[in-house]
Amino acid sequence: MITVSEITKVYDDGKVKVQALRGIDLEIKKGEFTAIVGPSGSGKTTLLNIIGGLDTPTNGQVTIGETNIASLSENELIDFRLNHIGFVFQSYNLIPVLTAKENVEFLMLLQKKNETERNERTIKLLKAVGLEDQINKKPSKMSGGQQQRVAVARALASKPDFVLADEPTANLDSTSTANLLDIMLQLNEEENITFVFSTHDQRVINRAKRVITVEDGKILSDERK
């Protein structure tokens, strides 16, 4: 599903060059539940952002299915992300003036899905993440764990090929983290949804089925459990 070939990334501000990634080769298959781990500055978030088309490599390519996303124009890349990739961020990134239902529906509106389809899928997803009683609440009225579960439902709303999660448990307590990981694992096992995490949270690492360790911009180890 995802093939990363000889990816390098150099950040250059005109004064200092920082080599964030140094020739990464990686393949992630459909249905994997993978954690990319490493210390701060190791390159794990840069790698996740490049896979998701949020950043561009200096050299190399990322192929998702049959598409080399580095070859896409900016508008093509926006459309590709909308239809193929789900994102879950550390800071939730929910729209504060919208309810949980409206936040989940938002990407489907961009996809021009009809109202019936939007409504049915939104209700199904919010039930799947245990929030059927929070449908009409805005983010400010929900706990951090509830907001992150809305973010997971939103990430799945567009029926993406896979979900990228950047430090999704960083702001959550132990109970909320366990609940969130239970939900993601259930979706992974029952619906074969692919999840790729960037994390340093041992709780996530313990539940992952594959752990890729990145250090100094290189893959140090790649272990399947």
Nearest to 131 by CA among 176, 191, 82: 176
Tens-digit pLDDT profile for residues 110-149: 999 999 999 999 999 998 888 999 999 999 999 999 999 9
Q: Residue 86 and residue 81: Cα distance in Å, rounded?
A: 8
Q: What percent of the chain has pLDDT over 90?
A: 72
pLDDT given for residue 109 in this prediction: 94
pLDDT at 70 over 90: no
Tens-digit pLDDT profile for residues 81-90: 999 999 998 8
pLDDT at 170 over 90: no
pLDDT at 176 over 90: no
β-bridge mates for residue 214, sequence order? 219
pLDDT band at 222 (very low <50, low <70, confident <90, very high): very high
pLDDT band at 191 (very low <50, low <70, confident <90, very high): confident
pLDDT band at 71 (very low <50, low <70, confident <90, very high): confident
Q: Give the residue extent of every domain in the chain.
A: 33-54+75-224
pLDDT at 199 over 90: yes
Tens-digit pLDDT profile for residues 37-56: 998 889 999 999 999 999 99
pLDDT given for residue 172 in this prediction: 85
Question: pTM score, two decimals?
Answer: 0.89
Chain centroid to CA 10:
23
pLDDT band at 225 (very low <50, low <70, confident <90, very high): confident
pLDDT given for residue 76 in this prediction: 94
Tokens of 10: 């150099």
Nearest to 136 by CA among 94, 176, 98: 98
β-bridge mates for residue 67, sequence order? 64
The topology (CATH level 3) of 33-54+75-224 is Rossmann fold (3.40.50)
**Residues 223 and 211 sit within 8 Å (Cβ to Cβ):** yes
Tens-digit pLDDT profile for residues 202-211: 999 999 999 9
Mean of pLDDT over the chain: 92
